[in-house]
Amino acid sequence: MGAPEQPKQQEPGTEEMKRNPTLDNIQQLGQVNTPSGESNLFCLTIIGQVEGHMVLPPQNKTTKYEHIIPQLVAAEQNPKIEGVLIILNTVGGDVEAGLAIAEMISTLSKPTVTLVLGGGHSIGVPIAVSANHSIIAETATMTIHPIRLNGLVIGVPQTFEYLDKMQERVVRFVTRHSQVSEEKFKELMFTTGELTRDIGTTVIGSDAVKHGLINQVGGVGEAIKELNRRIEERKQQMNGGYVQ
């Protein structure tokens, strides 16, 4: 008579992840809770590379814009969410996807604050300046450089004209949503000798504030404090209308 068959052991944590939506949100979206959660603040993280129309290799840490856009819409519609905190540590990525995210953040009716931790490079710059108030960590950096194309490029005047128009879209957005002048931003963009094998400039913490790109140097505490201050201001303005 053979030994009784041992019950199959389940892989630890598998059933828990299936039952626990919080763990699933962390795995899929990098979020502790979605805009339907209990907090009055929604924290949105933009990390790694901003993924656009092309799917990046699985080993790349990416932020998918098709995940970000519905979360911003949900945060705007949810009456329990009173403010949005956007935390960036990104190397950049797809230009149009990055601009789409930046435009959505800039058009939210609720108070928004961006916090650059680590890096807010390339197309991360428009996202960083898109909020009502922007903060950068003392050790964080931002790389400003001209638009670059990957893959096959057709060497005709129309290609370079398209590239120039796309670059102007980025310049207009950044200068409209920050204190940096167009002349200064383009100067930083076309500086030679700063970056290896490329043109552009890397600015660190206080330099980003000095140039007018970012509002202040700080961290998470300052970001949440500023966001709460703006939420209270908004409440007073709304209540003031009813009192009068």
> β-strand 201-204 against 141-144: which pairing, if any?
antiparallel
Dihedrals phi, psi of 147, to nearest 5 degrees? -65, 140
Task: State how beta strands 62-64 and 41-51 pair.
Answer: parallel
Closest among 221, 44, 41 to 130, alpha carbons compared? 44
Residues 6+ apart with CB under 8 A from 18: 24
Instruction: Show which residues are catalytic.
Output: 122, 145
Contacts of 105 (CB under 8 A, 6+ apart): 72, 84, 86, 112, 114, 127, 130, 131
User: Rounded to an integer, what distance in angstroms lies between the CA atom of residue 116 and that of residue 167?
Assistant: 22
Query: DSSP class of residue 94?
Result: -
51 token code pair = 């993924």
Per the listing, tokens 């609720």 go with 110
Please, what sign has the CA dihedral across residues 217, 220, 223, 226? negative
Q: Strand 141-144 to strand 62-64: parallel, antiparallel, or no bridges (unpaired)?
A: unpaired
- How many other C-beta atoms lie within 10 A of the C-beta of residue 131? 26
